[in-house]
Amino acid sequence: MLGMSETQTSAKLLPILIYPDAVLRKQARLVTRADADEVRALVPSMFATMYKAPGIGLAANQIGSLLRVIVVDVAPKETPAPIALINPEIIAKSDELATQEEGCLSIPDQYAEVTRPARVKVRYQDVQGVKKEIDADGLLSACLQHEIDHLNGVLFVDYLSPLKRNMLLRKLAKAVKEQKAR
């Protein structure tokens, strides 16, 4: 996790790609040692972009980078709990399922209920390259699964029935068109 001063000096807001941008469907690649400088610059900007939106999670694909990096913060605004995950990987998931309403900064203003494993264990590296694990349930579990999906080109709408998905994407297309006309 980064200190505040570092976040403030290097963070810049990045444009968020909107569906159906092709980068959202791409598989992101593993971060290696050679990417260290790029990741150190990327993470504060991803946090700044996520908080500004505002959102509770952001994957690198969404800002046009194909590195396996996600940032999340599901804590209340007054008590921020930012977590940056490099090369995150779900290593265990519960049989029990949970349904939560999800949205996505790349599919703005559209929400739908998505059913996923209730709990997951995620292995990742922090920005210093230290290996870590998180046991997540509730909102954090759904958020981590949603963001890791992004790194594999998967979007929450993929879990909906074709009928629901088409309705939601038609509404999105209409809203984007109206936005552009303004």
Which residues have C-beta within 8 Å of that of residue 1, sequence separation ≥ 6?
Answer: 82, 83, 84, 126, 127
Stretch that binds Ni ion, among 14-22, 46-54, 64-72, 98-106 (CB under 5 A): 98-106
- How big is the CA angle at 119 (ends 118 and 123), to the nearest 5 degrees? 145
Does 60 help bind Ni ion (rule: CB under 5 A)? no
Residue 50 sits in the site that holds Ni ion (CB under 5 A): no
Residue type, 95: D
Sort 79 into a burial class: Cβ within 10 Å, 0-12 / 13-18 / 19+: exposed
Q: Contact region for Ni ion (CB under 5 A) — 40-48, 70-78, 85-93, 104-112?
A: 104-112
- Which part of the chain contacts Ni ion (CB under 5 A), choosing from 8-16, 23-31, 77-85, 99-107? 99-107
Whether 82 contacts 71, CB under 8 Å: yes
- Is 104 one of the binding residues for Ni ion (CB under 5 A)? yes
Q: Which is nearer to Ni ion, 43 or 143 (CB)?
A: 143
Q: Which is nearer to Ni ion, 108 or 117 (CB)?
A: 108
Active site residues: 147
**Radius of gyration of the chain measured on its C-alpha atoms:** 16
Q: Which residues bind Ni ion (CB under 5 A)?
A: 104
